[in-house]
Structure 1
Amino acid sequence: MTLNTHLRLLADIREALPDGPIPGRAELSEHLSRRQTEIGETALAEFAYVQQVAKTKWGPERTAHFGQVLRQHRVSQKPPRETAWGEAETLLQKLPEHWHRLIAAQIALSKQGKRVLGRTLWSASHTLNVIRALKRWAAFCSTQGCSMVPTGSSLDAFGRYLFADPEDGQTVGAGTIADYQSRILSGIGLTQPGFSSAACSFVVADWRNRADQEGAVTKTGAQLVGATAIWDLGFQHIENARSSQMRGLDSARQYRNGLILAIGTALPQRARALSCLSFGSSLYLQDDNSVGIRIPASMLKLPEDRKQGAPYERSLRNPRLAAVLQEYRQSFRPIFDDGGAVFPSIKSRNTAISEKQIGRLTGNMTEKAFGTRISIHRLRDNVATQASETMTAPGRAAAALLGHKSQSTVARHYDYSEGIQAAEEFGALLSTYQAAGVDLEL
């Protein structure tokens, strides 16, 4: 009986010697392409079984490239996701038409990123938030039959409306309401040149004062589990990936997710900054002990006219982190694709996951492990809290770690150190800082 190419490959693997040659990536890719032409998508399941047989013969590490080939043929290249500017321009069409021209002009000006005398540039995020707030404000005014030019009373009524009828059932605090109101005034100030209202400004200040008194409704003490616990959870995921029986996409994804927690703890930046990390451009393996970080200003939370400025640069002196990043780059990262993104997408080749996905994954992992959902931003709270408790001159150190110029900002928003015990490992991580930056040691 003549064997088809699938059965022939299986037979060859079973007959091979444990220390013998292994089919290479190009050979396997050609085989899988031929089988897909012959039998369609069933060839993918066939090849997954081939990898299992090969793993039994040669072990998971030597057969990791089987997973790379399977990934290459299973996932097609998708169009790039819409940018924040593109999303803003799309959502703009849902606002009242008489607002379009002036807001579109502001978007065009801000996208250039160049200072213009007498004009304030908006970030893509701020622009999107302003348009979302205006959209909800316009719907409220239509329902209430009031003018879309706000007064103190109508803006306050809008705040009470948000408080009583939050979107998607989410809790809305006074701070969120004040943010909505500020964005509405920002948008109206653009669409109604010369608009000014002391009453509206008073209303926003009043809601902001309420927010200061009530605290952040989205933050709870249960979310302060300690930065070291989150760091350890990341390495637990990495170890689980290492010990998996087969080097495939599942193990690569678990390793990647573990790195999200480990890097997010050692480098307590916002999700947007983490989403841009890429080997060789924003993350460098300097040696066996150090990891270099260079995040473009455009990915930081800065005024728009400063996003062409100096990047955020740090050196993480951390042998353990350097070692796992080296292993990831060599053995697990190539399973996704040939790109450099530290956090690559499962669904699309040569694409990094979004900042929102980084947040979702962080929340999912921490909720499963600790019973409470910890966002990337809340992870920053844990770092600042532990830094504030363990370090000499903790306010300056925590401010530098989080990228805040003001120690009072850290104290107001992040320092919840009472009751959290510092771990020696993370105390060493945060024990050194310099005027020009912070070097992190583990």
Structure 2
Amino acid sequence: MKANVHIRLLADIRSAAPGDPIPGRAELSAHLQQRMGEVGDKALADFAHVQRVAAEMWGAERTAHFGQVLRSHRVTPKAPRKTAWTRAEEALRHLPAPWRQQVAEHIALSRQGKRVKGRTLWSAAYTQSVISALKKWEDYCASNGLSLTPTGAALDAFGHHVTTQTGAERPVTTSSAADYMERILSGMARAQPGFSSAACDFVVADWRDRASAEGPGTKTGAQLVGASTIYDLGFQHICEARARPMRGLHAALQFRNGLILAIGTALPQRARALSCLAFDSTLTLPDHETIRVCIPASMLKLPEDRKQGAPFERTFRNAPLAAALLEYRRSFRPIFDDGRALFPSVKSQNAAISEAQIGRLTGNMTEKAFGVRIPIHRLRDNAATEASETLAGGGRAATSLLGHNSPATVARHYDHSEGVGAAQEFGSYLKSCQGACVELDI
């Protein structure tokens, strides 16, 4: 009768002493490969049990490589994620046939990233938004027997239509309606060369003014729990990951997600920028307390013709966060794969999670902890509010922290100071930011 290699491995581990050698990664990988050939996917659950037994004998830290082996056999290669430009080009099929060539030509021009006199380049994300808005406009015109060429009256009626639609998953705000209109006009200028309408421009400006008067409809005061509170929640997840009895994928995920909150607060950048963070390239750790970030302009919210420009650079000191990053890289990050992405994907090896997934995870964690979803972008509001209220530089400090040129932009969109208490640790981080154009002393 053929010996059961699973039972034999378990017996060897249980009979071992704490000082005995631990099976290495190559040996374990060969074992799991053989076992999968014998019993299929059942071997994965069996191996997870082997890791639990090994962790009881040698500890979670010394048996973390069991989790790496299990992960490498669980994940199968997947097709590369489509780029934003590819998705934009594929979306062209949703437009009326006469518009496609003109819009496609502008997409090709925008992808080159070179300035052309009289042409405003589009980003991939903005291109998708324009195509989506044009599709909404086409559907509205078809339903109401209107010409596809916008008029002021028709565009205004469209705005009222989208903001009063029933059955929508999320209500469309006045600001969003103005965005739709602006993108429709931007798209029409390309789809129908020579199109312009002072009446339409007036309607968009009017809706913008109304949106400014109403304030941001998707932001609520309940989402302002304080940047330090969100930062602490991140470290709560990190501590819970450390305390898990076994270093498997669940522990690695919890540590990663905790870092999303901690980094997202300490470095209040948008999800797109956070999604590109990777060890030894966009994020480096020069010493045990210093964190250096360099995000390419292509990942920042900038006009397309500026996305070949200077990167966003920031160096700051935060010993607990630097220590967490070093520990993550050493003990938790390798469980995903051998890549360097700071926030790796669960579904694909050597790939980072998308900016949309960063947003979903942030919302899920904050909703569970605080009873309200706080999107990743709303972390910037919390950071700006706390900086404005606690630092001597006030709004100027928040402007520097968020990377804005205009204090008015921060005041209008991010700063909601109304008594939110600040933590000394967060203030110390702000004070340590290098390359800031304002004094950040507390």
Answer yes or no: is 1:23 the counterpart of 2:23: yes
- Corresponding residue for 1:404? 404
- Corresponding residue for 1:389? 389
Contact between 2:393 and 2:441, CA under 8 Å: does it hold in 1?
Answer: no
Q: What is the alpha-carbon distance in structure 2 between the residues aligned to residue 10 and residue 128 of structure 1? A: 54
Q: What is the alpha-carbon distance in structure 2 between the residues aligned to residue 61 and residue 385 of structure 1? A: 39
- Corresponding residue for 1:430? 430
Shift of residue 426 of structure 1?
A: 1.7
- Corresponding residue for 2:416? 416
Counterpart of 2:313 in 1: which secondary structure? Answer: strand
Contact between 1:18 and 1:57, CA under 8 Å: does it hold in 2?
Answer: yes
- Corresponding residue for 1:262? 262
Are the structure 2 counterparts of residues 440 and 317 from structure 1 closer, same or farther at C-alpha, using a change threshold of 3 Å?
A: farther
Shift of residue 433 of structure 1?
A: 4.8
Contact between 2:397 and 2:439, CA under 8 Å: does it hold in 1?
Answer: no
- Corresponding residue for 1:220? 220
Counterpart of 1:314 in 2: which secondary structure? Answer: strand
Shift of residue 205 of structure 1?
A: 0.9
Counterpart of 1:430 in 2: which secondary structure? Answer: helix
Q: What is the alpha-carbon distance in structure 1 between the residues aligned to residue 163 and residue 174 of structure 2? A: 8
Are the structure 2 counterparts of residues 79 and 278 from structure 1 closer, same or farther at C-alpha, using a change threshold of 3 Å?
A: same
Structure 1: gaps spanning 5 or more residues: none
Q: Please, which moves more after superposition, 168-177 or 225-234?
A: 168-177
Q: What is the alpha-carbon distance in structure 2 between the residues aligned to residue 371 and residue 441 of structure 1? A: 34
Q: What is the alpha-carbon distance in structure 1 between the residues aligned to residue 339 and residue 435 of structure 2? A: 35
Q: What is the alpha-carbon distance in structure 2 between the residues aligned to residue 425 and residue 313 of structure 1? A: 21
Q: Please, which moves more after superposition, 323-332 or 113-122?
A: 113-122
Q: How does 1:133-148 map to 2 (within 5 A)?
A: 133-148=133-148
Contact between 1:171 and 1:217, CA under 8 Å: does it hold in 2?
Answer: no
Q: Please report the TM-score for the alignment, with normalisation by the length of structure 2.
A: 0.97
- Corresponding residue for 2:380? 380
Q: What is the alpha-carbon distance in structure 1 between the residues aligned to residue 318 and residue 59 of structure 2? A: 30
Which whole-Å deviations, capped at 9, do the CAs of 1:282-335 have from their partners, x for residues lacking one?
Answer: 000110110110101100011111111111111021111100000000000000
Q: How does 1:54-93 map to 2 (within 5 A)?
A: 54-93=54-93
Counterpart of 2:322 in 1: which secondary structure? Answer: helix
Contact between 1:316 and 1:441, CA under 8 Å: does it hold in 2?
Answer: no
- Corresponding residue for 1:150? 150
Contact between 1:314 and 1:439, CA under 8 Å: does it hold in 2?
Answer: no
Are the structure 2 counterparts of residues 166 and 91 from structure 1 closer, same or farther at C-alpha, using a change threshold of 3 Å?
A: farther
Q: What is the alpha-carbon distance in structure 2 between the residues aligned to residue 243 and residue 82 of structure 1? A: 37
Shift of residue 441 of structure 1?
A: 11
Q: Please, which moves more after superposition, 7-16 or 232-241?
A: 7-16
Contact between 2:315 and 2:434, CA under 8 Å: does it hold in 1?
Answer: no
Contact between 1:431 and 1:441, CA under 8 Å: does it hold in 2?
Answer: yes
Are the structure 2 counterparts of residues 329 and 440 from structure 1 closer, same or farther at C-alpha, using a change threshold of 3 Å?
A: farther
Q: What is the alpha-carbon distance in structure 1 between the residues aligned to residue 70 and residue 181 of structure 2? A: 51
Structure 2: gaps spanning 5 or more residues: none
Which letter maps to 1:226? G
Aligned length, in residue pairs: 442
Q: What is the alpha-carbon distance in structure 2 between the residues aligned to residue 143 and residue 400 of structure 1? A: 48
Q: How does 1:244-259 map to 2 (within 5 A)?
A: 244-259=244-259
Which whole-Å deviations, capped at 9, do the CAs of 1:116-140 have from their partners, x for residues lacking one?
Answer: 2332211111101000000111011
Contact between 1:385 and 1:415, CA under 8 Å: does it hold in 2?
Answer: yes
Q: How does 1:355-370 map to 2 (within 5 A)?
A: 355-370=355-370
Are the structure 2 counterparts of residues 301 and 170 from structure 1 closer, same or farther at C-alpha, using a change threshold of 3 Å?
A: same
Q: What is the alpha-carbon distance in structure 2 between the residues aligned to residue 249 and residue 10 of structure 1? A: 21
Q: How does 1:236-385 map to 2 (within 5 A)?
A: 236-385=236-385
Q: Please report the TM-score for the alignment, with normalisation by the length of structure 1.
A: 0.97
Q: What is the alpha-carbon distance in structure 1 between the residues aligned to residue 283 and residue 106 of structure 2? A: 34
Which letter maps to 1:293? V
Q: What is the alpha-carbon distance in structure 2 between the residues aligned to residue 440 and residue 221 of structure 1? A: 26
Shift of residue 440 of structure 1?
A: 9.1
- Corresponding residue for 1:53? 53
Shift of residue 83 of structure 1?
A: 1.3
Q: What is the alpha-carbon distance in structure 2 between the residues aligned to residue 196 and residue 254 of structure 1? A: 52
Which letter maps to 1:220? T
Which whole-Å deviations, capped at 9, do the CAs of 1:139-161 have from their partners, x for residues lacking one?
Answer: 11111110010000110111011
Contact between 2:384 and 2:410, CA under 8 Å: does it hold in 1?
Answer: yes
| Identity value in percent | 65
- Corresponding residue for 2:177? 177
Contact between 1:223 and 1:378, CA under 8 Å: does it hold in 2?
Answer: yes
Q: What is the alpha-carbon distance in structure 2 between the residues aligned to residue 437 and residue 156 of structure 1? A: 42
Are the structure 2 counterparts of residues 303 and 17 from structure 1 closer, same or farther at C-alpha, using a change threshold of 3 Å?
A: same
Q: What is the alpha-carbon distance in structure 1 between the residues aligned to residue 229 and residue 272 of structure 2? A: 23
Contact between 1:386 and 1:420, CA under 8 Å: does it hold in 2?
Answer: yes
Which whole-Å deviations, capped at 9, do the CAs of 1:242-291 have from their partners, x for residues lacking one?
Answer: 00011100000000000000000000000000000000110001101101
Which letter maps to 1:311? P
Shift of residue 363 of structure 1?
A: 0.5
- Corresponding residue for 2:120? 120
Which whole-Å deviations, capped at 9, do the CAs of 1:394-434 have from their partners, x for residues lacking one?
Answer: 22211111111001000111111122122222222223455
Counterpart of 2:94 in 1: which secondary structure? Answer: coil
Q: What is the alpha-carbon distance in structure 2 between the residues aligned to residue 311 and residue 440 of structure 1? A: 21
Q: What is the alpha-carbon distance in structure 1 between the residues aligned to residue 172 and residue 406 of structure 2? A: 27
Q: What is the alpha-carbon distance in structure 2 between the residues aligned to residue 363 and residue 247 of structure 1? A: 25
Contact between 1:318 and 1:441, CA under 8 Å: does it hold in 2?
Answer: no
Q: What is the alpha-carbon distance in structure 2 between the residues aligned to residue 433 and residue 313 of structure 1? A: 10
Are the structure 2 counterparts of residues 290 and 434 from structure 1 closer, same or farther at C-alpha, using a change threshold of 3 Å?
A: closer
Counterpart of 2:154 in 1: which secondary structure? Answer: helix
Are the structure 2 counterparts of residues 432 and 288 from structure 1 closer, same or farther at C-alpha, using a change threshold of 3 Å?
A: closer
Are the structure 2 counterparts of residues 247 and 438 from structure 1 closer, same or farther at C-alpha, using a change threshold of 3 Å?
A: farther
- Corresponding residue for 1:234? 234
Are the structure 2 counterparts of residues 435 and 46 from structure 1 closer, same or farther at C-alpha, using a change threshold of 3 Å?
A: closer
Which letter maps to 2:254? Q
Give the 4+ runs in structure 1 shifted more than 6 A.
438-442
Are the structure 2 counterparts of residues 204 and 261 from structure 1 closer, same or farther at C-alpha, using a change threshold of 3 Å?
A: same
Answer yes or no: is 1:98 the counterpart of 2:98: yes
Contact between 1:317 and 1:440, CA under 8 Å: does it hold in 2?
Answer: no
Q: What is the alpha-carbon distance in structure 2 between the residues aligned to residue 165 and residue 436 of structure 1? A: 45
Which letter maps to 1:27? E
